[in-house]
Amino acid sequence: MGNESSSRREQREQYEAEVERLEKQARKNFDKRVKTYNYAYHGPYDYYINWCHAEYELECIPESCRQGSRYR
């Protein structure tokens, strides 16, 4: 019984580490996208920033939670 608790704790710690890694990478991608903004290519700034925020949120979703035919 003691092993179940430590196993769950290890799984939770692994999951939290994965989420932290994904958030860090998503933040880098977000910053890169904002820095490369070009009105002629990306259109209005407000729309582009909203798109960047949406991409950030999608990139923060752990692999184990991604599912469905519409997920890319």
DSSP3 helix / strand / coil % (the chain, rounded to 5): 80, 0, 20
Q: How far is CA 7 from CA 11, 13, 54, in A?
A: 6, 10, 34
The C-alpha atoms of residue 70 and residue 42 are separated, in whole angstroms, by 23
Dist. CA 72–CA 59, nearest whole Å = 10
What is the rounded average pLDDT of the residues 59-71? 76
**11 in any annotated domain:** yes
Q: Does residue 60 sit within a domain? A: yes
pLDDT (average), residues 13-37: 95
Residue 70, in any domain of the structure: no
Confidence of residue 70 (pLDDT cuts 50, 70, 90): low
Main-chain dihedrals φ then ψ at residue 62, nearest 5 degrees: -60, 150
Per-residue tokens: 21: 């890694």
pLDDT at 71 over 60: no
Q: Is the pTM of this model over 0.85?
A: no
Q: What is the pLDDT of residue 5?
A: 75
Per-residue pLDDT, 72: 60
Which domain range does residue 47 map to? Answer: 2-65
